[in-house]
Structure 1
Amino acid sequence: MTVTESRTSTLTPTREITVAVAREKEAPFTIEQARIRPPQADEVLVKVVATGLCHTDLIVRDQFYPVPLPAVLGHEGAGIVEQVGSDVTALAPGDPVVLSYGYCGHCAQCTSGMPGYCDQFFGLNFGGSDTEGNSALADAEGEVLHDHFFAQSSFATYALVKQANAVKVSADAPLELLGPLGCGIQTGAGAVINTLRVRPGSSFLALGAGAVGLSAVMAARVAGATTIIAVDVVASRLALAMELGATHTINTLETDLVEGVREITGAGTQFALESTGRPEVLAQAIEALGPLGQIGVVGAPKLGTTSEFDVNNLLLGGRTIRGIVEGDSVPGVFIPHLVELHRQGRFPFDKLVRFYDLDQINEAAQDSLEGRTLKAILRMPH
């Protein structure tokens, strides 16, 4: 029996759903009808209200990461619990939830409060199936659709997730808006608050003023940084950065990054976050750090991408580079924290958002790639 036959034979899909499918490398998404099986054990079936479109969805569609195709992507979902498996105790039908990434829950990293570095992270989030190699989705012809993307595959009207990565939020929270908190927004904000631990009165540099970088700007303001520099090449993004808390901006089409940062800060910035995924930007940012400066890296280029920099820029200044996954966030703790900050008006990430219908996913993707949209959110048809 072939692998595909084995995986198909384990499917018991019963509910008809609508999905956006990535069928081929660099090809447009296709809107299709599919079927999804019921939840089992600790799984939850969620009726998706809306899902954020993240840069990671697009680089996986384009096969920067080797997720098997055809696949249903989407990993910033929010919706209502429809049905629960027999072992679910923390959620019930009707609960509003934000979906986040998958983790095993029992390795050394998970049990120490760092689930973003789970021993099984890549397989659980990029493997294209569950841990036994099975998919919960079949297309209209009964063929397997790879799923479990970030343990949710929420470019769909329904998503099957573990109760561990479905975070309950208050009934009055703006659910349609909240999906991006599960990945992009928590990555930027968490990098500032959880990882770098930006201090009151400090200086912070956001390299890239997209959704992740601007989330970092807002978080730096919450953290009390008094010099907050946003860097980009798009004037409108830099203007929005000022509205959201930046004290200075640098357009690198007009100003050298290192010179600009040193003119503003003197010795260089204390904290920085690289979200562009461009190795040359990382090299410049290291040079823009002050003594004992720290830079977090969240921008994801193709696997195998390298960056060159003068090692002495690290050694002599005691500088630090740190890779960061999902903002070092424990979603069940950090997402409600961000929801509350938004409710208080201190974290207005709604200013980053533009809504699209699911069947406009290719328009949303193009607008995102060309910089017309910072954070696209896809509304689901029901």
Structure 2
Amino acid sequence: MTEPAFDHAVDATPAPRPTHVTLEGRFCRLRPLDPARDTDGLYALSHGPEAPQQWAYLFTGPYADKADFDAHVRTIAAGTTDPVYWAICTPDDRAIGWLSLMRIDTTHRVIEVGSILYTPALQRTPAATEAEYLLARYVFETLGYRRYEWKCHNLNEPSKRAAVRFGFTYEGLFRQHMIAKGRNRDTAWFSMIDIEWPQRKLAFELWLRPDNFDPEGRQKVSLAVFNRLLAHQGELVLRRATLADVPAIRALKDIAYAANETITGVLSLPRKADYAAMMADHEIWVADGEGHLAACAVLQVAPEAVIYSLAVHPDGQGRRLGDAILAFSERRLAELGADRVTLYTHAALEQRIAWYARRGFLRTHVEEMADRRVQHMEKAL
């Protein structure tokens, strides 16, 4: 499935270069590398029994001795233009890895994360994921880059899996792209772009929530699940929406809710929504139709599971797309850990309320608003 083209005028102002700011998280902090403070610990962590695997796909290392490693750390720590390195630190400021922003194209606002060293102390920890979140947020929100790249040796399967888990999209293979440590390197290219960032950011933040971890610190729902981009339900093929879809989402809501408004006499709440803003805290899924969106689901995942709105284009009547988009929404929220889901609709829409009731939703209460009465409903998943 192909997303709609997003060929439009953009701000051509060059992006600023990254600087050695400190980025604070809950599980880790990113700060400038400090050779005097960090070399001994990083050398011990990166030159143990797993050193050959850790350094296999990096351009340098492992190092013959600590003096050589120290010289390398001093070199990369001193860089302030391209690449720019950060130490990945524990909350008490102990360096356990590093990463960099590199191949910086300020004119076109394109930048790459690379030269990533995750020592055993960092691997498979929440800090490893939070470090990627902090840097991506800095790239998109502070610096204003349009495109964020991840590249790796095509033989580096863990790196390719990590790219997808973090929300990057595979773009292709550049054969014999470079020579690395005296050998041909085929490079796998991945990217994330600014119109995708709101939903990628949401996935990171949902994964990082304290309630996504059990008392032993184990994740309940994986980031790969939060970052799922495609889904199938009956004949519907759904994809995560991007900012490019906002006009089409608004158009679908306008046409889908028109019949309801002849009954209620008021503008439907989903037609009042700012869907660009909602991408920050709601999952939005769309299915493409012929020249328009066929369906759309807007789902709140936390702090509780809510089906905010569903819409099906009138062209889909008779194809049970309403059942499909509702079933998908329930399945998706259950996949994300919900055991109950709520929704609401105008209290005057008795046929719609009865339709939900036949699908297992129970009336809970009616909310009195200034211009309408809203029926709330709930279902156990």
Which range, TM-score by smaller chain?
under 0.3
Using structure 2 for the length normalisation, give the TM-score: 0.28
Higher relative contact order (CA 8 A, sep 6+): 1
Using structure 1 for the length normalisation, give the TM-score: 0.28
